[in-house]
Amino acid sequence: MSYQAPLRDMRFVLHELFDAAGHCAHLGNGLDRELIDGVLEEAAAFAAGEIAPLNRNSDEQGCQLEDGKVSTPKGFRAAYQQYVANGWASMTGPVEFAGQGFPQLVACAFHEMLMAASLSFRVYSGLTEGAVLALHKHGSAALKRDYLAKLVSGQWTGTMCLTEPQAGTDLALLRTRAEPQADGSYKVSGSKIFISGGEQDLSENIVHLVLARLPDAPAGVKGISLLLVPKFIATEGGGLGAKNTLSCGAIEHKMGIKGASTCVMNFDGASGWLIGEANQGLACMFTMMNDARFQVGLQGLGIGEAAFQGALRYARERLQSRGLNGAQAPDKPADPIINHPDVRRMLLTQKSLVEGCRMLAAYTARQLDLEHGASEPAARQAAGKRAALLIPIVKAFFTDMGQEVASHAVQVYGGHGFIREWGMEQLMRDSRITQLYEGTNGIQALDLIRRKLLGDGGAELSALIAEFSELCDTQAQRPALAELAHTVQARLGEWRELSAEVIALSQRDVQEIGATSVDFLQYSAYVLLAGFWLQAAATAQDALEAGSGETAFYQAKLHSARFYLRRVLPRASSHREALLGGAACLMAMPADSFAF
């Protein structure tokens, strides 16, 4: 299948909804609208012309492990070298280490393109950016000097080594050890599994960020430290030194993203250096984890866009039956299936979910930028709270959305969707991992309630609801948007009440946290998207009233907003009813009663 970046919609989100140029001016990075659009056009050409053509072959060829070395699919190495040479790898890197300092608001559009073009290819560079964040924030001056510039450039790549066979979500169970040495380094021993890009032939060096325990560490998660353990130990100033004592023991044979090497990594007394303070590794890793979870959300968005494009292209071309109201293409033997209501339902569901998530992604990226770059400390703190609230929703809902939209694409294609050559079944397989890694979506839902909602008694969520409520009050005065505004306003009130109910339930019975969490996250996401669709509708209505000249584009926004509120938003009601069902019906039956 082919892919073309949805540049018009991306420009709508960046410029018309979120004023990317004004945002960049506030951050002081020198980017204006003309430069942003030029970068996006080059990015679109690279994603469509260089990366997307690799996707199907990477799925069929996969990665190969021989004598401890992993070879990536044909074309990946050359494409990665071009990715680095063109400066895409350094896009978001800190400028003091030769990065370009692009804000997340702009970069997330390019990253979505990469995810859509080939998720396997993007996996290799995605975690490197998280490693840069963690090292830049927590690393010593010496580690930054020797490693950071090469990571920023993409010449070296990074990984995140958390999971062990017995320790996935529960990091308190990890066993990897780090023994202190006289020279200040540590000898790291243990095995990690599911390490994306743990070994590959794309970069000169691979820098692993490894969670391990020091000999005197306290039990549990309070005794975890973070160490930098490179494949090749850097010389002073960032050259390649001696090979470290670590190796790839195996690569996983997976359901999807077969072009991305997923490795078992063995550390056999490998030299490592502490990042941050001893026993504070989890806090350091969360710097990387939040970025990784946002990026995984973008993976779901990219998959969704690719699936929507494939389904739309096929629906316009495939001829089957006549329309229920008569022939729509009388010069042809049958009508294109896009004329059939059920196909329209699937396409509009895809379109409204993908475009709604794109708005939420940009809004979240803007908060991530302001958390680090706002001029006032209070603004940075406020943005950090907002980003923390939204990250679990973005990660979980976007990836669920990607799987749903890919499934709709298979359905639009009918039997052809089940066949490899059309590409839709690959999108379904590739997207499935996004609901699992960087914390399963169930874990994201627990995080939303335990750390975010209960953490401040719902204060940040109430502030978010109030912002959208103000938007509703304004747009309710406009006849063209009054119905949409009243619908969203009613849901916002219900969301506020439901949040209070979830807090009360959770305080009475801790089991309710887990019992309500997934449905509450889903409910929250559907209502959030409704708020953004109202904002999009208002912007489109403004453009139409101003006579912008792009009538079809803006009318499509209004149509999509109305469809979302009438046909997708009602899903929130089922999630509300389910979570109010309580924990008793989940937990009352003894575990033994689940037997066959």
**CA dist list (Å): 350 to 6, 357, 411, 569:** 14, 11, 12, 13
Q: What is the C-alpha separation between 204 and 223, in angstroms, rounded?
A: 32
Task: State the catalytic residue, choosing from 305, 355, 438, 460.
Answer: 438
**Phi and psi angles of residue 5, each rounded to the nearest 5 degrees, phi first:** -60, 135
Query: Catalytic site residue 438?
Result: yes
DSSP secondary structure of 176-236:
-EEEE-TTS-EEEEEEEEEEETSS-SSSSEEEEEEEEB-TTPPSGGGG-EEEEEESEEEPT
**Phi and psi angles of residue 250, each rounded to the nearest 5 degrees, phi first:** -170, 160
Q: What is the C-alpha separation between 532 and 145, in angstroms, rounded?
A: 43
Q: What is the C-alpha separation between 437 and 440, in angstroms, rounded?
A: 6
DSSP secondary structure of 398-412:
HHHHHHHHHHHHHHH
Q: Which two tokens stand for residue 280?
A: 């504070």
| Residue 252 burial class via C-beta count within 10 angstroms: exposed 0-12, middle 13-18, buried 19 and up | middle
Q: What is the C-alpha separation between 536 and 17, in angstroms, rounded?
A: 7
Q: What is the C-alpha separation between 125 and 206, in angstroms, rounded?
A: 11
Q: What is the C-alpha separation between 320 and 142, in angstroms, rounded?
A: 66
CA dihedral for 162, 165, 166, 169, sign (positive or negative): positive
Q: Strand 64-66 vs strand 177-180: parallel, antiparallel, or unpaired?
A: unpaired
Q: What is the C-alpha separation between 97 and 156, in angstroms, rounded?
A: 13
Q: What is the C-alpha separation between 83 and 405, in angstroms, rounded?
A: 28
CB 371 within 8 A of CB 383: yes
Find, among 71, 385, 390, the residue nearest to 248 by Cα. 71
Q: Which residues are catalytic?
A: 438
